[in-house]
Amino acid sequence: MNRALLLFVVLLAAVSIPLVLGGNEIWSRLDGFSLPWLLIMFGMILICWVVNTVRLRLLLGDQCDRVGRLKSLGVVMAAEFAYCATPGGSGGPLTVMALLARHGVRPARGSAVFAMDQLSDLLFFLCALSGILIYALFQHLSQRIEWMLMVSATSLFGGLLTCVMVARYHRSLIRLSGRWLARLNVKPATRMRWTRKLLHFLAAFTDTLKLPLQTLIKVFALTCVHWLLRYSVLYLALRGLGAELQWAWSFLIQMLALSAGQLSLLPGGAGAAELTSAALLAPMVGKSTAAAAILIWRAVTYYFYLLVGGLVFLLMLGRPLLMKLFSLKHA
């Protein structure tokens, strides 16, 4: 089963989950949803793309002139599509590097920009999770939510610790990986080539970290704006359906659902995110309302990314690279 077929199957399963949960009542709930609310949510996603475009150009530093503003927006949209369409988001960094390389940005610099972007996201979620944990101390949480919250906290802190350890002991890790690859009979020329690529990436990442402090603060501020907007979509969907739920709870549900989706390694977390959000949301607002809200939320923050981002990906990289992205041979 290749990646394209896998994506189709998980999308079908993902759409089926809220439809089964909501039953016949889901159609009446969706029919009563206000169109202006839906347009506002799509507008928020457009703002997120613009925000991420500015963030990309800031991280490119003195090389931002190589990529125009419109092209930068295209890079962001195409990368979001690749991230949502491939298992574990593996296509995201490859797309960023390929598109930036077409404009003269070295692959090492492109990968460093993507890594810095992900590190900024990680710092935001660590801050958000810390706030949620403080908020949860004064709330009554079910054991299931407590368990998922602890798993998310552990994975985020583990990710940050891994980044610090790799940065601190990268020379030892390179030597250790060289010995390991030698035992696997990898050719010396291949090992040297991979080592050079890694060293070029580390050098580029170090240069990115040396950007002016004001620039790095702007990048983190834009990261906060992006995720606060994107994580408000479920809250607005619930409000549009007439449900009363605190914004903090909707943020927590999305964070846990998308964390479960990441752990599933399915494209965009499709299926796992719907199941987790349904399990957490249904007891709070009812099955039909939860099902309708999940369908609207995923339509805006996932299916819309696939549809519009896929068109941009085709325009910028073409059908051959799309097939390469979905090819099992290149997985």
Mean pLDDT by 10 residues, the chain (331 residues): 68 84 84 88 95 93 86 92 83 86 84 86 84 71 65 69 67 67 68 66 70 91 95 92 85 85 81 88 88 93 92 80 58 40
Q: 206 is in which domain, residue-wise?
A: 3-330
Please count the residues of the chain.
Answer: 331
Q: Which amino acid is at 33?
A: F
The rounded radius of gyration (Å) of the Cα atoms in the chain is 21
Structure token digits, residue 325:
């992205």
Burial of 176 (0-12, 13-18, 19+ CB in 10 A): exposed
Res 270: pLDDT: 84
The label of the residue with tokens 């809220």 reads 18
Please give the DSSP secondary-structure letter assigned to residue 246: -
Under DSSP, the state recorded for 210 is: T
State the total domains in the chain: 1
Predicted pLDDT at 329: 43
Predicted confidence at residue 143, as pLDDT, reads 63
Tell me what pLDDT residue 1 has.
Answer: 47
Angle between helices 247-264 and 233-240 (to 10 degrees): 120
Instruction: Report the Cα–Cα distance between both ends of the chain, in Å, rounded.
Output: 12
Q: What is the structure's pLDDT at 330?
A: 42
What element of type H or E holds 257?
helix 247-264
Sorted by sequence, the CB contacts under 8 Å of residue 141 that are 6+ apart come out as: 149
Opening angle at CA 258, ends 7 and 54, nearest 5: 90
Q: Which residues, 6+ apart, have CB-to-CB distance to 183 below 8 Å?
A: none
pTM of the model as a whole: 0.83
